[in-house]
Structure 1
Amino acid sequence: MTDTHALHAEAIRVAVETSQEHLRALLPALTDDAVREPSELPGWTRAHVLSHIEGVARALARQARHALRGELIEPYDGGRPARAAAIETGAVRGAAALGDAVRAALDEASAAWAAVGPADWTRPVKHRESDLRAALLCWWRELEIHTADARIGHGPRDWPRELCHHLLDHLAPRAPEDLRLVLTATDDTLTRRYGAADAPAVTVSGALTVSGPLTDLAAWLAGRTPQQPLDCHRSGRTVPPPELLDWP
């Protein structure tokens, strides 16, 4: 199993560049009709999702630029209301303009993260009151998950295995607090346990086990639809997957 807590920042940066190139390769095929079609996110078109990716790329890139100057700055001027307004405004653009904007934002992100040196990753940022390494991991999550949400040819089954391991760590707070949850990948060595060993549900009916391909487990924990149904069992019986808690 990959220890995502020990995943070197340089390896994350290389993975992010690869993810950005995957998105770049998908943009030229977009048409004006296609960007108006629904995404995986309720109420959002593909254009909304791509506009959001553009905004996140720029917001986290500026976290990096300011951190290197020893400055703390909010990710978005005007906070979440301004972010939401920018997404709506950006979503009315046609495919060509939207593609150009996303490519420009990816260029900005690449330049900002390339400037971070080996000794800089622990510099603080305002985003989540964390550091540059955590902000880069956030950009990786946002980039891969929302590229899948856009439904433009890159889905959860294409997520890198290292990202999936990271998601299963980062999203641990989504596991229900009142049971022992065990995730087992059928195509990987991963077994991930959540919840206290003495959780009340354990003494009553045992742990709930969820198994399936690694990418499907990560998709489910991220609130996305697995490509195939997951196997869920408790005390020898097939049961529905549990309701997950909010995103951390």
Structure 2
Amino acid sequence: MRPGGLVVAIRRAHERLGGAIEPLTDAQVGQPSRLPGWSRGHVLAHLDGLAAAIARQIDCARRGELVDFYDGGRPARDAAIEAGASAPAAEHVHALRVATERIDALLAGLAPADWDRPVRFRDGVVLSVALAWWREVEIHLVDLDLGPDSDEWSAELCDHLVDFLATRVPAGSRVVLEAPDGWRRDLGAGAARTVRGDRADLTAWLAGREPVRAIRAADGDHLPRLDPWPDSTPPEPPAATSPDLA
């Protein structure tokens, strides 16, 4: 996706996130999310902390500076999530509104050359850190279990996620994804196994999420095994289904 289209996609993701959490109650904050071991408050606190880290990467990159993604690294990140998870709903909503508005403003203000400036996050560039934020917002919006689901993912997001997650196909194996509309993606190398379903459902499965509609292996056997997320350290909550993008 080109930067201009990504800016629009992220803004729309922010609008969807804001619309989903605006009616949030304190009771809902403490209820389980779709990520085992995490409440909705944990997901919201993670998004808030991640937004601050993303914004800092972009802001510093514009000035030619490289900074760590999280001050204090992973332990500080995890502690902040635990500390913030039980905040009142209004506090979560306000924090994410401010955070997303800041990211929107930063992205809208980037010059064409800024998108290629290096960041310390996975030794990438501003474009790659913006793509990571897009993934995180869309996926964790589904994890919040407040209405929006993976069947609402755009074709552009699905294509991006499949490209990003292609390395989840284990070495020496190959997975072919096929949708009824003719969409097809061939991932990996080796003896092929075909998995069929709608594009968004196939993408959700590749992302470790429960598809809205059933998908199936063409050979009638169980679905292929997948490796962890790319470059992942231990998953966020203690569950194999959760991503660890940041």
* TM-score w.r.t. length of structure 2: 0.91
Deviations 1:198-228 (A, max 9, x none): x2xx2xxxx2100111110110000000012
Q: Does residue 39 of structure 2 align to residue 45 of structure 1?
A: yes
What is the alpha-carbon distance in structure 1 between the residues aligned to residue 120 and residue 13 of structure 2?
Answer: 24
What is the alpha-carbon distance in structure 1 between the residues aligned to residue 173 and residue 112 of structure 2?
Answer: 41
- 2:120 matched to which residue of 1? 126
- Of 192, 202, 226, the residue aligned with 1:217 is 202
| Structure 2 runs not aligned, ≥5 long | 231-246
Which amino acid in structure 1 is aligned with residue 209 of structure 2?
R
Which amino acid in structure 1 is aligned with residue 205 of structure 2?
W
| Kept in 1: contact 2:169–2:175 (CA 8 A) | yes
| Kept in 2: contact 1:184–1:190 (CA 8 A) | yes
User: Displacement, 1:108?
Assistant: 1.8
| Structure 1 runs not aligned, ≥5 long | 1-6
Deviates more, 1:174-183 or 1:55-64: 174-183
What is the alpha-carbon distance in structure 2 between the residues aligned to residue 23 and residue 31 of structure 1?
Answer: 15
- 1:73 matched to which residue of 2? 67
- Taking only the aligned residue pairs, the percentage that are identical comes to 46
Which amino acid in structure 2 is aligned with residue 28 of structure 1?
E
- 1:231 matched to which residue of 2? 216
- Of 188, 191, 201, the residue aligned with 2:184 is 191
| Kept in 2: contact 1:62–1:112 (CA 8 A) | no
What is the alpha-carbon distance in structure 1 between the residues aligned to residue 188 and residue 101 of structure 2?
Answer: 41
Q: Does residue 163 of structure 2 align to residue 169 of structure 1?
A: yes
| Kept in 1: contact 2:40–2:144 (CA 8 A) | yes
- 1:156 matched to which residue of 2? 150
| Kept in 1: contact 2:29–2:86 (CA 8 A) | no
User: Displacement, 1:244?
Assistant: 0.6
User: Structure 1: which 4+ aligned runs deviate by more than 6 Å?
Assistant: none
Q: Does residue 222 of structure 2 align to residue 243 of structure 1?
A: no
User: Displacement, 1:154?
Assistant: 1.1
Larger radius of gyration: 1
What is the alpha-carbon distance in structure 2 between the residues aligned to residue 194 and residue 24 of structure 1?
Answer: 34
What is the alpha-carbon distance in structure 2 between the residues aligned to residue 229 and residue 176 of structure 1?
Answer: 23
- 1:3 matched to which residue of 2? none
What is the alpha-carbon distance in structure 1 between the residues aligned to residue 214 and residue 222 of structure 2?
Answer: 10
Deviates more, 1:102-111 or 1:80-89: 102-111
Which amino acid in structure 1 is aligned with residue 224 of structure 2?
P
Which amino acid in structure 1 is aligned with residue 153 of structure 2?
W
| Kept in 2: contact 1:64–1:116 (CA 8 A) | no
